[in-house]
Structure 1
Amino acid sequence: MIRPDSIDALCSTVAHARATGTKLGLRGGGTKDAIGAPCEAQIVDMRGFAGVVDYDPPELVLTVRTGTPLAEVEALVASEGQMLAFDPFDHGAMLGSDGGATIGGVVAAGVAGPARLSRGGARDHLLGFTAVSGRGERFVAGAKVVKNVTGYDLPKLMAGSWGRLAALTELTLKVLPAPRTRLTLAMRGLDATGAVAAMARALGSAAEVTAAAHLPDWHGEAVTALRLDGFAESVAARAAMLPEFEALEDGDALWLAVRGAVPLPREWPLWRLSVAPCKAPGAVAALPGAEWLLDWAGGLIWLASNADPAVVRAAAEAAGGHATLVRASEAVRASIPALHPQPAALAAIEARVRRAFDPDGVFDTGRF
């Protein structure tokens, strides 16, 4: 493992790897190391790029180096009554890692929790970045303003790229005021079809729902939950628009369980299915014996199943989406691609984009 702490050092590392045919695996806190196949690569520890570059609370903009722990970033913005505009979380508990996630790893993996339903994901709030390409060259994209329309929208390309295009060293992110009040509402006893319908009605109302999820077994009963954020008076008024739902006392615990797929058995492979919400009931019905929960009003299914991976992916495709293998044994991870295989035409476009940033495959470790 090597740990560069400057752009020049990282450029030299990548250039040397390119010249010698060495593969480089980018690593932050290591909380997502268990996603993807085990691979042989020289590990580049990006935690040498740590620290806040610039934080301007009145302008709602934060520039931070990518190796900074997510917990430190969240504590910093919370001290100003703010939060990151998307809903990041640490995969450590889910994947059994002791390390703390870094902000760079969160953005590179496109991580977003239950509030993605209303706030969008990391790609929607990454304003700009600095990175080193597979050519060993430093480059900058985006800007420190929201209304930036110059050139290609590379921030959206980098968010969720899993370190396969370039090594991110610095990020500029949008932040928002943190809500003063959070209220969780619940409806009990619904099946998947009824839950998706109830969440759709709530989202179609004027209640401005922040998050919506369904747990088939939450303390022994099915619970369909909504979260409302904002000022106390606003939250109370919006809750009154949803008379079918009642207040839930352990709301914070429920949302932590949803984002970490806590209720699902750890001994089975864990899948993350992104589907059309209205197709979610059909997707889980096609996988009998699996245990699951719904997030993003049905758009995200956390699924624990021993079913044939081809069957899981076929169910996701039939529901208009895709399936990512998040947690499994090393043997399973070595035999099944973590990311959903793409259609040939899309795969060809992706390959061209990757070669544009990394012509010799320095970051192509075989992990995915």
Structure 2
Amino acid sequence: MAEYAHLSNINTEFADALAKLPPAPPVLSEDLAICRENYPTKVIPACHALFEGYMPPESAYKVTDRRIDVDGAQLLARCVVPTPKTGEDGKFPLLFWIHGGGWTIGGVDWDDYKVRKLAVDQRISVVNIDYRLAPENPFPAAPNDCLAALKYVASNEESFSADLSRGFLIGGMSAGGNLTAVTTHQYLDDPLSKSKPLTGQLLVAPIICHPKAYPEAYKSQLLSMEQNKNAPILSRSMMNAFLNWYQGNPSDPRLSPLLFPSHKFKVLPPAFVQVYGMDPLRDDGLLYEKVMRENGVKTKLEIYPGVPHAFELAAPSTKLCRKFVDDFEKGVQWLLHAV
């Protein structure tokens, strides 16, 4: 959005942190093999480092890996459940979490530390789900997997130490935010959603419309792909590479959830949205929050000026990073009380 162009001006604390980093090849590359090679060696250590010193003791939670059969594949579902305290019955609200990675890289270990801390702090069961990756499993494998897995979890809440009447959230970052928006819309069309309704969405830097499918009415509000085309970490060319590997039809709402019929937005659950100011996806998050809000959906928006996509992994010691991490947990708390 034009009025948000100033959000692209680099945050001075982030700039200082970036300048102190030793020169290194970029983690993301338009060579998918390099992206996947960097994932365990660079991305995961950075994700873990972000929570060093903040992790609860292992006795405070239990981790169980399950397999969900979907369309001939077995999806990994890692469930993190807080150890019950005095007065708790061992049943908790549930968050269904979808990892990012441009639909082509990543897995449950991406946000493993993040959701372990969240489960303990917020007394919530978290199901951290894998899905089949493109290009080997092109669109719509990922949204199909996420919907099927969500329905399985909703139908088997006891297996995940959950009581969905206390809260049933869905969330994800980046491509995971995209899949969160898509899966939320699709789940609303399923009869199961009547008895097991989703009660909140966590949308962290989501992509909500393919640039080739921007509606004419919204083009003037989707400027960040151009304004932040050369942003560090995630550039426009890198985002285009992810979209090309994903192989989806730009106009399909299962890729571009902004394009779902307008009446469907009126029945979406409350949403917490986090947006990076120097991100090609900035205006996606801002616009999607605006469209939901204008359709009567309860929303809460947090913006982080002057930092790029996933800046927290490159600058974990900055004040804005700690705010970003704290806001995430506060957003979960807000959603659990928003209905």
TM-score (norm 1): 0.29
More helix by share: 2
Larger Rg: 1
More strand by share: 1
TM-score (norm 2): 0.31
